[in-house]
Amino acid sequence: MITMNLLHKTKYILLASVLWLASSCESDFLDVNQDPNRATSAEPPLLFTGALNQYSTNRVIDFGPTGATASQLWSGGGNLGAGVFTRPERYIISIFSNGNTWRTHYREVQKNLTLAIQGAESSDPVNNNAAAQCKIFRALTFLSSSLIWEDVPFTEAVDIDFETLELRSPDPAFDPQEQVLNGVIGLLDEALAQIDPESPLAITNNDLIFGGDMDNWRKFAKSLKLRTLMIMVDADPSKAGDIAALIQEGDMISSAADNAEFPFFSESGNRNPFWETLNAFAGAQNFFYFASEAMVNVMKKYNDPRLGMYFQPYPGGDVDPNGEVVGAPPGGNIPADEAWVLSTAPVGQDGTFELVRPNSPDVLFSYQEQLYLEAEAIARGLAPGGVAEADARFRAATQAAMAYRGLSAEATDAFLATIPPLTDANAVEVISEMTWIDQIVRPLEGWTTWRRTEMPALELPEGAQTTGLFQRFQFAPDEAAANDNSPVDKPLDEKMWFNR
């Protein structure tokens, strides 16, 4: 009996398992390939936050120290510092810093903003302001790419049919810098024309720069146009007219409140990675970013009151904090008991102006930069007004710059009183050197200001791999390897189109 039962049961078990197998043959059994971890669409604002953060984070910590030490805004500190910061000073550029920057510009920013624009323009109603915000940021990024690598993909970048997933340009061509920069201006004009002040639609909360204020975006876009034209004007003097017209028209960044800044926050995980690096490695003491001889010398030349604010003694040494600030020679060593570093701790009057803070924003465009550009344009006769007007804007710019670092108005006035009125002979030199000093923690702008004007005069670093000064990055290895249209690399010291 028992065995018979078992036999019967076995049959049923076998039958049941066959049935289970058979049922699993239904087509929906295999219909489980929808990804539960990712979305099939994303709203433009969500793509916008990511693109902006990627861009600024890269600027601050990946491109940042490399660009700053290679252009002598800072020093890597030789033996005292870390190799990752000293090598770029001798023009040995890490393939990671280089590749990460390229990847950020194209894979993170250009692609995601292209998709966001597509989403904004195909939504109902069309979100023109969102598209304009994305285009302005795309223009800023293309400008940055070209200032780092010169000729870069523009017209054929991110050229894909998102319906069929076919790449229309599988090997994007590298457009000449002139074409890229004209393209940047074109993209800015397109965005300016698309801004719809009447529409309530825009990227708002996810716009961490202006919170969706389209007046600010308009001013920022115009200021970016001015910056781009000023970069182009040496190589293409026909841009002078556009510069004059823009300055005439105004409506650009016109106060510190208009500054375009991507914010970082004091909360862990959202901090400025430039500060976080010091925090993680050395308890927020600065062992890595040193005062450069070039910067210190220029500041001493003007007796710049920011000298004691920008720098503090190297924490691993035994330097008199009231002693004379000494910068490390480019590419060389400095003894621990003489070295100064970028300031991380409040030492000045009100403790708000140290260069490296957990919540230091990434400054994309500042009011003082606007004024310095206007002063320079006027001083060079690119816009009307003459040297007296240039001097006035130069002083306004310097006041804005000093105020930005927390220096009192009295101290600023006292400093400006020591600077004689600008003359035709020295205006450009003084303006560009003061711009350069202001841009100490804005490496791409600082490097570009120096490349445009070649002031201050810099010396070739010890151990440099070239005979000339640093002008460009070589193409990112991954792009060069994969793109059949990638041009042959030019020497690191060969000037770009814009300042040839």
Please, which of residues 111-130 interact with other proteins by CB under 8 A?
Answer: 111-112, 114-115
Q: Is 79 in the site for other proteins (CB under 8 A)?
A: yes
Per CB under 8 A, the segment of 99-107, 128-136, 223-231, 383-391 that binds other proteins is: 99-107
Task: Select the residue interacting with other proteins from 117, 134, 191, 208 (CB under 8 A).
Answer: 208
123, burial (CB in 10 Å: exposed 0-12, middle 13-18, buried 19+):
middle
Q: Is 152 in the site for other proteins (CB under 8 A)?
A: yes
Nearest to 491 by CA among 475, 478, 480, 476: 475
Q: Which is nearer to other proteins, 168 or 301 (CB)?
A: 168
Tell me which residues in 298-317 interact with other proteins (CB under 8 A).
316
Distance CA 153, CA 105 (A): 11
Q: Which is nearer to other proteins, 14 or 388 (CB)?
A: 14
Give me 164's structure tokens: 């069929």
Q: Is 10 in the site for other proteins (CB under 8 A)?
A: yes
Q: Is 67 in the site for other proteins (CB under 8 A)?
A: no
Q: Which is nearer to other proteins, 198 or 267 (CB)?
A: 267
Q: Is 161 in the site for other proteins (CB under 8 A)?
A: no
Tell me which residues in 394-413 interact with other proteins (CB under 8 A).
none
Give me 271's structure tokens: 């901090």
Least distance (Å) between residue 209 CB and other proteins = 10
Task: Select the residue interacting with other proteins from 91, 102, 365, 447 (CB under 8 A).
Answer: 102
Per CB under 8 A, the segment of 44-52, 226-234, 378-386, 425-433 that binds other proteins is: 44-52
Q: Is 484 in the site for other proteins (CB under 8 A)?
A: yes
Each as own residue / partner, the long-range contacts of residues 153-158 (CB below 8 Å, 24 or more positions apart, any chain) are 153/106, 154/179, 154/180, 154/183, 155/179, 155/183, 157/106, 157/110, 158/106, 158/110, 158/111, 158/114
Per CB under 8 A, the segment of 5-13, 300-308, 389-397, 435-443 that binds other proteins is: 5-13
Task: Select the residue interacting with other proteins from 126, 201, 256, 282 (CB under 8 A).
Answer: 282
Per DSSP, which regions of 368-459 are E strands?
none
Q: Is 487 in the site for other proteins (CB under 8 A)?
A: no
Tell me which residues in 250-269 interact with other proteins (CB under 8 A).
263, 265, 267-269
Distance CA 83, CA 78 (A): 8
Nearest to 427 by CA among 471, 382, 470, 469: 382
Q: Is 417 in the site for other proteins (CB under 8 A)?
A: no
SS3 137: helix
| Cβ pair 176, 151 in contact under 8 A | yes
Q: Please name the residues in contact with 485: beta carbons below 8 A apart, sequence gap of 6 or more.
A: 171, 172, 173, 174
Tell me which residues in 230-249 interact with other proteins (CB under 8 A).
none
| Cβ pair 328, 313 in contact under 8 A | no
φ and ψ at 219, to 5 degrees? -65, -40
Task: Select the residue interacting with other proteins from 259, 344, 471, 486 (CB under 8 A).
Answer: 486
